[in-house]
Amino acid sequence: MNESSHNQTSKKVLVIGGGIAGLSAAYELARLNVDVDLVEKSSFLGGHAIQFCCKADDECQKCGACSVEKRLLEVIEEPRIKISLGSELTGLNRNGRFSYTLSLRPLRIDPKKCTNCGVCLEKCPSDGAIVRGYSKNNVPLYAIDQNHCLFFKDGSCKVCQDACPEKAITLDQDNSQASSEADAIVVATGFEAFDPLTRSWYGYGIHKNVITALDLERILRQKGEVLRPSDNNACEKIAFIQCVGSREPKLQHGFCSQVCCTYAMRMAQAISHRSPELKATIFYMDIQNCGKDFPDFYMKCKENIRFVRLAPYDIFPGEEDRLILRYSDEKDVHLVDEAFDIVVLSIGIMPGLSNASLADLLKIDLDEYGFFACSDPLDGTPTSQKGVFLAGTAQAPKNIADSMAQAGQAAYRVAQYLGVMPCPK
Ligand SMILES: Cc1cc2nc3c(=O)[nH]c(=O)nc-3n(C[C@H](O)[C@H](O)[C@H](O)COP(=O)(O)OP(=O)(O)OC[C@H]3O[C@@H](n4cnc5c(N)ncnc54)[C@H](O)[C@@H]3O)c2cc1C
């Protein structure tokens, strides 16, 4: 007998979060003929990973970026999945099923009318007010950011609405609410990237050429090459600093983010392949060497990338917009000052900022770091609340492939819970 008390023919699941974990859970459930309400708070599906570039050199580096693109397309083409962008869970009750309320921020760009022509972005006088999605499969491809839009500041501008040839834009719309019911919930709200402004000594936000690995992913995805942010000139030397916001036990960030060694090495490798004149150096504590292909990959990277087992003490501006990293030599005898064009901070994976309030609403627990706690460490998907399951980095740091695998596991557990799949004996 399954654990679900009610007897419905068509089951429905609320999936919270439209990153790769939420997309994968939704897709796997739809394939089991379960209806899905996929709720995403931002204007685009795909989460962090849809912003990543392909890191292939002569061969695929298995970074996972293309699987996000593929899964996104599968989800938007799947009729059993209802997508609500700009929406968040605001209320939840349980009477057998889960009854829930969503707050809905209007998209203001009608996806049925928008043809992705980009006239809105071209004509907009305010920087950042029209945002383009990272994937051509984001529907709609454009969104309006109220924080930068002059219409929301003082009502002074409707240029995009007037210019849109399809009349797809209606700026003046109110927030709304929607209520519905579901038989189970998957929490896939992902992670917050570590905020480098909290480590002021790295100079992020002060020196233009100090960027995060997430910034670099976006630059590579959008421009395909690395230019110095300060002047858009080509660069010769790029440094990666590892473990920014990870493995700092004194600051309660004692955990390893699991992905930074591999993503930095893949990015450095991809950059060296695209621009052989650009030399990459990785400053690291130790390399978290995991996975059966990793040792070979590490050896291959050592042919092109310089690895320095030290954390720089200081970063300060040098001549011609360069950055000087100060570190001690490997024998810890002399101080070395070395100039780089760009410094990339390999920021880690932190728990979502709204995890505590969502955990309250769902009546589930958080772990000691603030990630959602699973009630079965050998499974990783069930929570202390029956019918509520976890997927992806909402539960713990992990890469794209592991997020997808855990989402598949969550879908399988949900299906067992709903009785649409036999329980193992
Ligand atoms: C700099 C960097 C580079 C990386 N590079 C790689 C790489 O090359 N390869 C790799 O395999 N992994 C990489 N990773 C890890 C990868 O980003 C994660 O594995 C992946 O993004 C996890 O997906 P997710 O769905 O769990 O979370 P997310 O990508 O964070 O998606 C969560 C989604 O949920 C939404 N959401 C959050 N809260 C709510 C809410 N309350 N209601 C509704 N929606 C909500 C968010 O807006 C977001 O869209 C990298 C990580 C970082 C930080």
Q: Are 128 and 213 in contact (CB under 8 A)?
A: no
Alpha-carbon span 173 to 105, nearest angstrom: 9
For residue 392, count other CB atoms closer than 10 A to its CB: 33
For residue 252, count other CB atoms closer than 10 A to its CB: 10
Length of the chain: 425
Alpha-carbon span 21 to 71, nearest angstrom: 10
Residue for token pair 């972005």: 121
Distance 51 CA to ligand 1 centre (A): 10
Residues 6 or more apart whose CB falls under 8 angstroms from that of 388 comprise: 184, 185, 187, 362, 364
Sign of CA dihedral 116, 122, 123, 125: positive
190: left (phi over 0), alpha (psi -120 to 50) or beta: left
For residue 384, what is the DSSP state?
A: S
Distance 102 CA to ligand 1 centre (A): 22
Alpha-carbon span 371 to 315, nearest angstrom: 32
CATH class entry, domain 194-349: alpha beta
Alpha-carbon span 21 to 189, nearest angstrom: 8
Q: Whose CA is nearest to atom 51 of ligand 1?
A: 259
For residue 313, what is the DSSP state?
A: S
Q: What's the CATH code, domain 12-105+175-190+352-418?
A: 3.50.50.60
Alpha-carbon span 351 to 354, nearest angstrom: 9
Alpha-carbon span 235 to 31, nearest angstrom: 47
For the chain, what percentages of helix, strand and coil (3-state, to nearest 5) are there? 30, 25, 45
Q: Whose CA is nearest to atom 4 of ligand 1?
A: 263
Distance 256 CA to ligand 1 centre (A): 16
Q: Whose CA is nearest to atom 49 of ligand 1?
A: 47
Residues 6 or more apart whose CB falls under 8 angstroms from that of 132 comprise: 118, 121, 141, 142
**In the Cβ-directed half-sphere of 253, how many Cα atoms lie within 13 Å?**
20
Q: Whose CA is nearest to atom 15 of ligand 1?
A: 399
- Return the best residue to mutate from 189, 294, 297, 355 for the ligand 1 pocket (most ligand atoms within 8 A of CB): 189
Alpha-carbon span 342 to 293, nearest angstrom: 29
| The pLDDT of residue 423 | 60
| The pLDDT of residue 6 | 42
Distance 88 CA to ligand 1 centre (A): 17
- For the record, the structure tokens of 71 come out as 């899964």
- Return the best residue to mutate from 24, 28, 37, 48 for the ligand 1 pocket (most ligand atoms within 8 A of CB): 48
Closest CA to 412 of 5, 62, 43, 34: 34
Largest CA distance in the chain: 73
- Please state whether beta strands 342-347 and 130-132 pair in parallel, antiparallel, or not at all (unpaired): unpaired
Distance 318 CA to ligand 1 centre (A): 35
- Return the best residue to mutate from 87, 261, 263 for the ligand 1 pocket (most ligand atoms within 8 A of CB): 263
- For the record, the structure tokens of 92 come out as 């939840």
Q: Fill in the amino acid letter for 424.
A: P
- For the record, the structure tokens of 190 come out as 């992902």
The domain spans of the chain are 12-105+175-190+352-418, 194-349
- Ligand 1 proximal residues by C-beta, below 6 Å: 16-22, 39-42, 47-49, 52, 63-64, 88, 188-191, 193, 213-214, 217, 259, 263, 266, 347, 349, 352, 354, 358, 392-394, 398-401, 403
Distance 52 CA to ligand 1 centre (A): 10
Return the ligand 1 atom nearest residue 267 CA: 8
Return the ligand 1 atom nearest residue 16 CA: 43
For residue 66, count other CB atoms closer than 10 A to its CB: 14
Q: Are 390 and 372 in contact (CB under 8 A)?
A: yes
Predicted confidence pLDDT, tens digits, the chain (425 residues): 344 444 446 899 999 999 999 999 999 999 999 999 999 999 999 999 999 999 998 889 899 999 999 999 999 999 999 999 999 999 999 988 999 999 999 999 999 999 999 999 999 999 999 999 999 999 999 999 999 999 999 999 999 999 999 999 999 999 999 999 999 999 999 999 999 999 888 999 999 999 999 999 999 988 888 999 999 998 999 999 999 987 776 666 778 899 999 999 999 999 999 889 999 999 998 888 777 888 899 999 999 999 999 889 899 999 999 999 999 877 777 899 999 999 999 999 999 999 999 999 999 999 999 999 999 989 999 999 999 999 999 999 999 999 999 999 999 999 999 999 766 55
